[in-house]
Amino acid sequence: MKRWILPAVAVLLAGAIAWPFIFGGGTVEVKGKSFVVEHRLLDDGPMSRLAPTRNRGALAAGSSILCSWDRDRYLYFWSDGAKAAFDVAFLDAAGKVLQVGRLRPFSGRDFCDDAGLASTVEARRALFLPEGTTDDVRLAAGDTVSLSSDLTGAKPEPMPVIKVGGLEVRAELVETYRGRQRGLMHRPMMSKDEGMLFAYPKEQSSPYLSFYMRHTLMPLDIAFFDGKGRLVNAVPTERAANPATEGSGIHSAAQGPARFVLEMPIGWFREKGLTDDKGKPVKEVSMELPDILRARADKAESSSR
């Protein structure tokens, strides 16, 4: 994505044009209270819908953040340096409340211990409100939040789709050192044919491509691909008996140099006929990345600091 530098006046006047992934001016009504909305529609960049509270203080009264997707999926948010707590309502496409929760700032020493907040149902939107709002208005699952027409009419950017052996996978790309450290920690589930793709600046070998299951709640297939996108091996990896205190040992490692690692629900590669029971490819399996992900992967951070 190109980064345009505009004069300050132009930014103020352009509004949504200056930041195509944030649309201002929309409103939501929650049990008779109106909130101005900062609408997030993309996953890339510092103002991502995947990290709406990053390094952020408390929302002002009457303000909110709405993160929207083009499909229902299990949603998850880290507090990611937030300086305040946020009430969160997970919504369907029309604004029906499916679940409410609270995302609290994390004050521990190891950011991987930050449990974040996960939806236990597939949702289309996540509405972030000032702390205490859901208690004040007694918002609960089954209630409806009224969304202004510009919010319901906005078109969220679809998650990027990669192809693995010709099969489509919607992937969250992780290309930073910090992001790769925490990966899928604390997430209880993923939606069908969704995964997390780790990208490195160049091919690596074990132990630099060794994975462990600390804080990981889902059993996973951890698959390694070389710099040309060819599958090296896939390792079915069970969750630890107690993920909070166990799982720090090495469980899964590449059997050759690799640049990309794809995590999918356990059994995915074998069920799709891509690997045998030992995780070896039964044929040549290639991964195809769209240009937007390839460009981000080419700027991936180093595997160590």
Count of domains forming the chain: 2
Per-residue pLDDT band for 12 (boundaries 50, 70, 90) equals: very low
Residue 259 lies in a domain: yes
- pLDDT at residue 201, as a whole number: 93
- pLDDT at residue 240, as a whole number: 86
- pLDDT at residue 80, as a whole number: 83
pLDDT in tens, 58-68: 999 999 999 99
pLDDT in tens, 266-290: 999 999 999 998 899 999 999 999 9
Residue 22 pLDDT > 70: no
Domain range holding 70?
A: 8-153
- pLDDT at residue 4, as a whole number: 32
Using CA atoms, how far apart are residues 24 and 6, in angstroms rounded to an integer?
Answer: 18
Residue 28 pLDDT > 70: yes
Using CA atoms, how far apart are residues 287 and 237, in angstroms rounded to an integer?
Answer: 21
Decide if 274 contacts 234 (C-beta within 8 A).
yes
Residue 20 pLDDT > 70: no
Nearest residue to 15 via CA among 6, 55, 258: 6
Mean of per-residue pLDDT scores for the chain: 88
Q: What single-letter amino acid sits at 188? A: P
Using CA atoms, how far apart are residues 25 and 214, in angstroms rounded to an integer?
Answer: 42
pLDDT in tens, 221-266: 999 999 999 999 999 999 888 888 776 655 677 888 999 999 999 9
CATH of the domain at 181: 2.60.120.1140
Q: Which domain-ending residue is among 97, 125, 153?
A: 153
120 lies in the same domain as 212 = no
pLDDT in tens, 111-144: 899 999 999 999 999 999 999 999 999 999 999 9
Using CA atoms, how far apart are residues 178 and 300, in angstroms rounded to an integer?
Answer: 11
Residue 227 lies in a domain: yes
| Average pLDDT score over residue span 75-86 | 93
14 lies in the same domain as 119 = yes
Give the list of residues 6+ apart from residue 214 with CB closer than 8 angstroms, or none. 112, 185, 240, 243, 246, 247, 248
36 lies in the same domain as 56 = yes
- pLDDT at residue 92, as a whole number: 98
Decide if 128 contacts 88 (C-beta within 8 A).
yes
Residue 49 lies in a domain: yes
pLDDT in tens, 155-179: 999 999 999 999 999 999 999 988 9
Instruction: Tell how far CA 88 is from the center of its chain.
Output: 16
Q: Which domain-ending residue is among 153, 181, 211?
A: 153
Residue 303 lies in a domain: no
3-state helix/strand/coil string of 219-234: CEEEEEECCCCEEEEE
Concatenate the DSSP letters of all residues of 197-262 into one string: EEEEEEEE-TTTTEE--TT--S-EEEEEE-TTSBEEEEEEEPPPSSTTTS--S--EE-SS-EEEEE
165 lies in the same domain as 149 = no
166 lies in the same domain as 142 = no
16 lies in the same domain as 139 = yes
